[in-house]
Each structure stands twice: as structure tokens, then as C-alpha cells.
Amino acid sequence: MKAFRAVPNGTIRLQANTAAGAAPLLAGFPAGSGNQVRMWNRGSVAVSVEFGAHITMPLPVAPAGGAPGAQSLPPGAVEVQSLQSDQRHVAILVTSGAPDIEFTIGEGI
């Protein structure tokens, strides 16, 4: 296992509540196959996060009542996950507040 290493200029900071149909492009994706993204919820409330291939992707749906939904990122959490090569856009949603979420493209772990 090697430590996570960010690509140069590979971080974007977004406020939760992405506008529907306007999912931002993640910064610094190198050409080729999938990569990893480090997510940091800088806020004090959980957010729902979904990655996709298009700017017009729908907003995430929070899981509730046994129904499936998007992954949750707890307040203050830092997580790293692998992305498919076409997952270059991110949509985030929060039920209250407007926390900042940082997404950093890189590799490792």
C-alpha cells in the first residue's frame, strides 16, 4: 500500500447542494483509466455524494427507510475511493446548511 498522492492542481472545493443538471467536473483527471478521489467534508452535517459521467446527472438521493440511495459522507470525514474512467462529475446534496466539500484526484492507498 502506498500513501495517497494528489495530482497537481487536482482539488476543487464545492458547497453542498449542487444545482440539478450542473454537476461540476472534477479537477486534474489524467488521461487513461480510473483514478482515486479523496473526499473531505469540511462541514458539520452529513452530505450525499454521487459520481457520474455527465454534467446533467441527477442530484443524489439520500438513503432512507430501507430504500437505496447515494453514499453519505459524515461531517469532518475524509474518505478515498476509486472511480471508473467515466466518473468525472460529482453531485452533492445536503438536507440543511451549506458545508464545503473538497474533492482531490490522485492515486494510492
Query: In CATH, what class is 5-107?
Result: mainly beta
pLDDT number for residue 75: 95
pTM: 0.85
Average pLDDT for 40-64: 88
Q: What is the pLDDT of residues 53-68, one digit of tens each?
A: 888 888 888 777 787 8
pLDDT number for residue 19: 67
Give the C-alpha separation, 76 to 35, whole Å. 23
Q: What is the pLDDT of residues 12-26, one digit of tens each?
A: 898 876 666 678 888
Per the CB < 8 A criterion, the answer to whether 15 and 103 are in contact is no
Does residue 34 surpass a pLDDT of 80? no
Average pLDDT for 20-48: 82
pLDDT: is 66 or 51 the higher one?
51
The number of beta carbons lying within 10 Å of the beta carbon of residue 23 is 25
Per the CB < 8 A criterion, the answer to whether 96 and 45 are in contact is yes
Domain limits, the chain: 5-107
